[in-house]
Structure formats: C-alpha cells, structure tokens
Amino acid sequence: MGASLPPKEANLFKLIVKSYETKQYKKGLKAADAILKKFPDHGETLSMKGLTLNCLDRKAEAYELVRLGLKNDLKSHVCWHVYGLLYRSDREYREAIKCYRNALKIDPDNIEILRDLSLLQAQMRDLAGFVETRQQLLTLKPNHRMNWIGFAVAHHLNSNASKAIDILEAYEGTLEDDYPPENERTEHSEMLLYKISLLEECGFLQRAIEELNKKELKIVDKLSYKEQEVSLLVKLNRLEEAEQLYRVLLLMNPDNYRYYEGLQKCVGLYAGNNQYSPNEIEQLETLYKSLSQQYTWSSAVKRIPLDFLQGEEFYKEADNYIRPLLTKGVPSLFSDLSPLYNQPGKADILEKLILELEQSIRKTGGFPGRLDKEPPSTLMWTFFLLAQHYDRRGQYEVALAKIDEAIEHTPTVIDLYSVKSRILKHAGDLTAAAALADEARCMDLADRYINSECVKHMLQADQVSLAEKTAVLFTKDGDQHNNLHDMQCMWYELASGESYFRQGDLGRALKKFLAVEKHYADITEDQFDFHSYCLRKMTLRTYVEMLKFQDRLHSHAYFFKAASGAIRCYIKLFDCPPKSGTEEDEEMAKLLPSQKKKMRQKQRKAEARAKKEAESKSEETASGNASKSGKRNVKAVDPDPNGEKLLQVEDPLTDATKYLKLLQTNSFNSLETHLLSFEVYMRKQKILLALQALKHLLRLDAESPETHRCLIRFFNKVNTMPVPVSDAELLVSSVLEAERSTISQLDEKSLTDVNLLFLQKHKDSLMHRAAVAEMIYLLEPNKKSEAISLIEESSNNIISIHGALGPVTEWRLKDTIAVHKLLEGVFLDQDAASRWKSRCAEYFPYSTYFEGSRSSAVSNSHINSITQNSENGASNPPEVSHAASSMVRNGKLETFKDLKI
C-alpha cells in the first residue's frame, strides 16, 4: 500500500488511510493533494482521495478519481478494494463483490478484503461463497475466535448445522480447561447455548441435554438455560421432569402464557383450537385452580381458563375475572376479552353478565351478592365495557347510548372520547369520529398515542392537511413533514396514501406508498452492520433469528399494503393516463376567448399560491434548522413533493410488475396478491399468466365473489379471442383448452350457466349477488335491468345472535358502499344508485357516505340552514337551537368550561 512512493510520500499515504479511518477527511485530502503534486498519476492516492471525497458527498468526483486511479494502476489491490468500498457505499453490492474478487486475485491473503467480502456475501445470501471466504479467513488466522465462530455460522446458514457443530467442538478443543476468564463469560455462554440449539436442530436431543448439563456452570443466562432444557425434555418425552421445570419457570414469571401452554402439553391437556372434551375441561379446571392458589397475583392464570370453560362455569370465572378489573378501572379490559367473541355463545354470556353487573351497580351501588359499595367510577367503566361490547356486535346505536352515559357520568376521561370516536368510525360517520378524536387529543396535548389515533381518524375522513398539521406536533422543529419520513412512520404514510388514492390524487398516493417501500429497503440495508457486530459480541442465536426475519421481511403486513397500494395506483394510471401537454393545448383551443382568459387566470393564481406556500415552508425549515450554535442543518429539498414525476412513467404496468413479483414471492397465500396479478396480466394481455393467477384464486377461495368475477371475465375474454394462427397462438390455445377441463366450476357448462349456478349457491349473500349481477351485465349487456333488479332484491337478514338490546343485520357498511360504487361506476345507472343510497341510509343512519339521518353530513347541513334562517331574521324552535349548539360544541372543549377539578 503506497509501496511505489518515496518514504516521505509513503508516510503521507499512511496518513490518508488513518484520516479516512478516523473520519478526518479534510486532513486526508490535504495529504492526498501533497502526494499528487509530485506524483499526479499515482493510482492508489487518486483512489484514496476519491474515497475520501465520497464521504464528503462529492460522489461524481469520487467515482471519476477512483476510476482514474484504477486505470493508472490496474494491478493494485488497493485500487480494486477502494472501488469496491465505493460501490458498497451506494448499495451496489454485486459490483462491490466483483471488485473485491479482483483485489483478491492480486493479493489473495489480504485479511481486510476477505473480511469485507464475507460481509457482502452474508448480506447478499451468497452462502456457498460465504463459507469459502470464512474458511480462508480461518486458515489465515486460526488463533482468532471470531474466525472460528464465523466459519461455524456460515455452515449453519448454508444448511449444514452438523458441520457447524464439528467446527464449534474443534474450537472448544483449542481452549484451556479454565476458560473463559471473567470478562468473557457472557460471550462464551452465548456460544455454548448456540451450539446446543444446533444440536437440537439436528435432532441430537440426548447429546444436547448432556452437553447442557455438562456446561451448566459456564452458562450465565440461567433463564435461557432452563427454557432450553425444558424444550429438550419435552422433545425427549420426559414429561414429568419437564412439568417440574415448567413449574419452576412459572415461579420466575407467572404471567408467561408460553409456560402455561408448555405445562398443559406435559400433562396431556393441550389443544391449539381450544376444543376439549368435558373430562379434559374438568382436569384443566382443577389444574388452574391449584395454580391460581399458588400464583395469586397472576392475571394469566385467571384469564386462560376463560378460553376453555363453557356455560355456567365460564360465566362464574368471567364474573370473577371482570369484577376486580372494573373496580380498578382497566381501559384495556375489552381488548383482553375480545378473542372470546370468536367462540360460539361466549359473547351472549358476557353480555348477560355485564348487563347484570350494570343493573346491580345502578340499583344497589355494588356488585350482585356483595354488601360492599363500589366506587362511583365502577359504573362508568361498566358503561365503557358495554359500549365496546355492542360496538363489536354491530349494535352502534346501543353502543353510542352507553358511551354517552359514561361521558355524562365522568366527562373528563379521555378513553371515553376515543372509544366513541371508534364507534362512530365503525358506524360510518368518519367526520364526527375525527372531530371526537381531536376532542380527546385536546384533553391531553402531551399524549403521543392519542395524537396518533386522532391523525389516523382524520386521514380516514380524508382530512389530509389537518392530519399533517396534527401529526407534526410531535416531531422535531424544522423540516417537520420530512421528519415523519425520517422516523419511518409507516402507518401515517400508508393511511395518507390510501386517503390520496380515494381522492384520486395518484401522484401523492404513489409517493406515500413508495416511501414505505423505501423504508423496507433501508431495513434490509441496516442488517449490514450486524454481520460483524454479532460475531464479535457472540449474540449468535439472535443473529441467526435476525437473518431469518430479514429473509421474510417483505411478507410483513405494512409492506403488503404499500406494494398493493402502489400496484392499484399503476393500474388506475394505465386505465386513465394523465393528459399530455398537447392534449391540454387542444382542449384550450376549443374554448372561447373569455373562457381561455379565465382559465389562464386560475392557473396563474394556483401557481402563485403554490410558490408562496413553498417559500413559506422553506423559510420555516431554514429557521427551524438553525441550532443553538447558529449552524444550520441543510437538508435536500424534495424535487417532486406532489409525485408528479412518478405519474410520468412510460409503462405503468411494468412498474406494477416489479412490486407484484415481490408479493408473489412473499405473500403467496394472500387472495389479494393473485387478484392484483390477474388484473395486471389481463391488461398486459399475458393470458397464461392471468390463468395462473386465476388457478391460485380458485385454490385459495373458489367461493369468493372476486374469484367468480375473475373466472367469468377470463373465459369470456378467451371466448372472444381471434382464431389462433401462429405457432405461439396455437400453443396458448391448446394450453387453455387443457386447463379449462381441469376447472370443476366450468364442467362443460356455458358461462351464463356457471354464473346462475353460483347465484343459487350464494343467493343470500349481498356481495355474491352483486358479483353475479355484474357478470350478467358483462355477458349480456341487454340484461342490465335484470342485473340491477338482482342486486335490489337482496334482503338484509337479521343475524341470530340473541342480542338483548335489539337485532343486528347481516350487511356490512363497506359492502353496501362497494355495491353503490358498482351501480354508479359499472352499470352507470344514477337512478338505481340513488335508490340504493336511500335504502342503505335507513340501515346505516350514521353513515356520511349514504347521508344517513343521524350522520354529521346531515346534521351539518341542517345547522347551516338554521344559521341562514337566523341571519334572515327567522326564529328557531328551542329543541332545534339546542341541537345546533350541541353540534357546534362537538370537537371543542366547551363542555369542560365550567368544570372545576
């Protein structure tokens, strides 16, 4: 390194390297310039100067200098190594690996290059190469612990755990008997636990437990030791020993649900679906009664029996569980009980129980069968629980009545307003839900969670600008909106992206969805530093878990939402491309001179307003970025804040396919993945790929209305295809014929018959009827009125849930909205859409979409008319004035003005 230079310049070159390592970049540049004055063509110095400039964000100069240095000295391993580091900094890992391999051809035993190469191979999951590089490092430095461990981990990741065990045992053979010293006990303990987990993975269970017992004194983490031991005992079927050990673990942590599950397995009383025989339930009840006497303060030991108990026993245990939590005032009680609603009959029992508690507290001030009086807050928390219960069952009017009683009882509890907001959201009044969430936020301005919940409600109500202003209250001063992006606030970006999509602003929607996709790319990138850190710190089990997590990262729900949102945007962009400049000019030419003048004035005003907003934002950013020392942290300005450039894609479906492939790889069993695949491939005229997506849909859910739509659409498209002529067309046609016979739904029937048969199977379902009606209109457009009648004849049946306070109907709000959009957008029948809207307004009186009688949309228009009448001199009836004043108060804190605390 710098060997071809005279001693003085060689020392300067060492200074460049040291300055780079210590991040003293200006000092390094000064030394590089001093060498280059005398030796302007010295390749290694040019490369190091380029690497230093790269750290100062002068990338173009950096690449130019490094390439020039490499050109001047192609046989220098330093130049190739630096070139690789440059690519690595830009996440061009494959190019970096090529550069490292070229460097190793020149200097095959260079430890630093080998180490850097191994990190990149781990990052890119080149596991065979990772094993090879790690073996080379161990051969060169066998006295280094990290090389032994790295070689073992490489074999484990390459699906050769038995070889990894042999390597770790060979490493232990090099250690002295009194190893480890006190300062290395934790690292050595982690290595031993990792080795035992490998033995378990390979199925060497007896050997694993012998090794565990033998190394007990050297293992520092006693909890992990016991958990590993009990896992091995269960797998070895030594259940009595495992049972005793689980009881020891429960003494350490009596609220760990996994320990109770393990204990149940040991005594032969565990079923994953909670389906037990009466005899098993009796035994479980006895077990948990003895455990509850032993662990009196454990909440888990009281909660778990509610999952398996039935009937009267369930009622008694639920009563014992709920009472103290109502007295204490635990807001999360309903969240704790909500999984029980999925078990038949338990929701009815809970309703009966809570109503009895409410009636008793109202009458006597205490719980049934007790003389002690409850504190006044217990009644309020009972109302709170009942409101959530009725909300869960879809009885929104009763839920709102209960939560209003709770608010009237104690108007200062924030949780009440949050829950009322949630009930209104479920009932369909998103505007009122946002106003109430804002009211809850105003009651505690220092609570980030309530602020976030308020923002989410605002975004659901499409109040994006207001949501943004509320969200940035909890960000750092300065560049506030970008701060949300820097914090990887994905729930906000997804919710705002969905809001923009609903409003038809595809540019901004795409920008938000792609921002989430970038966060996942950053998370993938962030694992890079852990490849060396975890081997050094010996956190090997966690390291392997982290790598497995990274491998399934793109199956996470947030990524799925972002990718599917982006694909929907690209599909809509393909269906309705934005107008080009020439098209806009042609439209302008058709206008009258006066209309042209007005249009230009509007455009100028809009441009001026946008410019003014941008200037004010930049001023705020500049003033906010000034720190106490007076220095400013300048951030790059977003060149495309509205996502307009994202709309200027030549082929939206190509971009959609990029994200579609990620979903197909990572969310293969999701119905939506294959629905999106079908839509994209049908538009791209990729018939066989569309057929593949259809077959996956039939595999996942053949009875879904969406699957039925795709089936009819696909074969209707096939039936209207021209007669095949070329060899490729004939091949496609033969494949389609062969596959058609394998689809049981078709069975040599016409598409009309298939459609009617589907209707007969699902005649009571609204969404299935809507799908059939749409397909009738597709197959026979002249039967439009018949198709619409099929939808309108659907009946909203009552669900038999034995509700104590009123019936619950079958239809869901989002389904009825989808049907209205179908009538409006596909059938293009405004009269039918209007009739449907009027009908649904009765079923969903709180829905703003259908303008229900109790929704804020109707109330606000009513108040506006009252205000106009009063301005014109008309007097209002007292009850109307009261209603108006109460609506005006909504979302503000007028209620608490006269309150004294």
Q: What is the pLDDT of residues 154-212, one digit of tens each?
A: 999 999 999 999 999 999 999 988 888 999 999 999 999 999 999 999 999 999 999 99
Task: Specify burial of residue 347 (Cβ count, 10 A radius: 0-12, 13-18, 19+).
Answer: buried
Rounded to the nearest 10°, the torsion over CA 424, 428, 434, 436 is -20
Separation CA 69–CA 73 (nearest Å):
6
**Longest CA–CA separation in the chain, Å:** 101
Alpha carbons within 13 angstroms on the beta-carbon side of residue 391 total 25
* Residue ranges in the chain whose pLDDT is less than 50: 1-2, 478-479, 621-633, 802-804, 862-901
Q: Name every residue whose Cβ is closer than 8 Å to that of residue 31 and which is 6 or more positions away in sequence.
A: 12, 13, 15, 16, 19
User: Among candidates 69, 38, 64, which has minimal Cα distance to 53?
Assistant: 64
Instruction: Give the Cβ contact number of residue 163 at 10 Å.
Output: 17
The residue to which tokens 């096939």 are assigned: 718
Distance CA 32, CA 2 (A): 11
How far apart CA 48 and CA 56 sit, in angstroms, is 13
| Bridge partner list, 632 | 626
Q: Which two tokens stand for residue 746?
A: 């078709």
In this prediction the pTM is: 0.87
End-to-end CA distance of the chain: 75
Burial class from Cβ neighbours inside 10 Å (0-12, 13-18, 19+) for residue 161 reads buried
Q: Give me the pLDDT at residue 860, please.
A: 56
Task: Tell me which H or E stretch contains 53.
Answer: helix 43-55
Q: Which residue has the tokens 């190793």?
A: 104
Give the count of beta carbons closer than 10 Å to the beta carbon of residue 146: 15
Peptide bond into 180 cis (omega under 30): yes
| Tally of CB atoms within 10 A around 278 | 8
Written as six digits, the tokens of 261 are: 């599950």
Which residues, 6+ apart, have CB-to-CB distance to 811 below 8 Å?
A: 766, 796, 843
DSSP state of 626: B
Q: How far apart are CA 155 and CA 202, in angstroms?
A: 13
Using H for helix, E for strand and C for coil, what is the string for 379-438? HHHHHHHHHHHHHHCCCHHHHHHHHHHHHHHCCCCHHHHHHHHHHHHHHCCHHHHHHHHH
Strand runs labelled E in 562-711: none
Residue 481: what pLDDT?
60
Take residue 883 and report the two structure tokens written for it. Answer: 């209603």
The bridge status of strand 798-799 relative to strand 808-809 is: antiparallel
CA 758 to CA 703: how far, in whole Å? 8
Tokens (6 digits) for 353: 């129980």
Report the DSSP beta bridge partners of residue 778. Answer: none
Residues 6+ apart with CB under 8 A from 421: 433, 434, 436, 437, 440, 453, 457
In degrees, rounded to 5, the angle at the alpha carbon of residue 49 between the alpha carbons of residues 44 and 53 is 150
Q: Are 425 and 451 a contacting pair, CB within 8 Å?
A: no
Give me the helix-helix angle, 185-202 and 205-214, nearest 10°: 160
Angle (CA) 239 240 241, round 5°: 90
Give residue 870's pLDDT: 41
Structure confidence at residue 866 (pLDDT): 40
CA atoms within 13 A on the CB side of 301: 20
Is residue 270 packed enough to be buried (19+ CB in 10 Å), middle (13-18) or exposed (0-12)?
middle
For residues 291 and 256, what is the distance between their CA atoms, to the nearest angstrom? 13
Q: Give the angle 379-384-388 at the CA atoms, nearest 5°.
A: 145
DSSP-derived secondary structure letter, 82: H
Task: Please give the Cα distance from 696 to 312 (Å, whole number).
Answer: 45
Which residues are 799's β-sheet partners?
Answer: 808
**Phi, psi of 794, rounded to the nearest 5 degrees:** -65, 140
Residue 596, pLDDT score: 64
| H-run or E-run covering 441 | helix 430-443
**For position 601, what pLDDT does the model report?**
74
Q: Which two tokens stand for residue 818?
A: 């989808």
| Residue 333 contacts residue 385 (beta carbons within 8 Å) | yes
CA distances (Å), 272 to each of 258, 292, 300, 307, 340, in order?
Answer: 12, 22, 17, 11, 15
How many angstroms separate the Cα of 94 from the Cα of each of 47, 82, 101, 153?
Answer: 20, 15, 11, 22
Residue of 151, 78, 135 whose CA lies nearest to 112: 78
pLDDT the model gives residue 235: 96
Contacts of 306 (CB under 8 A, 6+ apart): 314, 317, 318, 321, 337, 340
Give 650's contacts (C-beta < 8 A, 6+ positions apart). none
Please state the φ and ψ torsions of residue 412, each to the nearest 5 degrees.
-105, 5
Sign of torsion over alpha carbons 728, 733, 738, 742: positive
Separation of alpha carbons 553 and 547, rounded Å:
10
> From the CA atom positions of the chain, what is the Rg in Å?
34
Report the candidate in 814, 831, 732 with the shortest Cα–Cα distance to residue 770: 814
Closest CA to 466 of 120, 891, 788, 851: 891
| Alpha helix positions (H), 236-310 | 239-252, 257-266, 278-294, 300-303, 305-308
Tokens of 652: 């939206």
DSSP state for residue 591 in the 8-state scheme: S
Give CA torsion, residues 635, 636, 639, 640, to 10 deg: -60
Cα gap 758→495, rounded to integer Å: 35
pLDDT for the residue 748: 84
pLDDT given for residue 627 in this prediction: 43
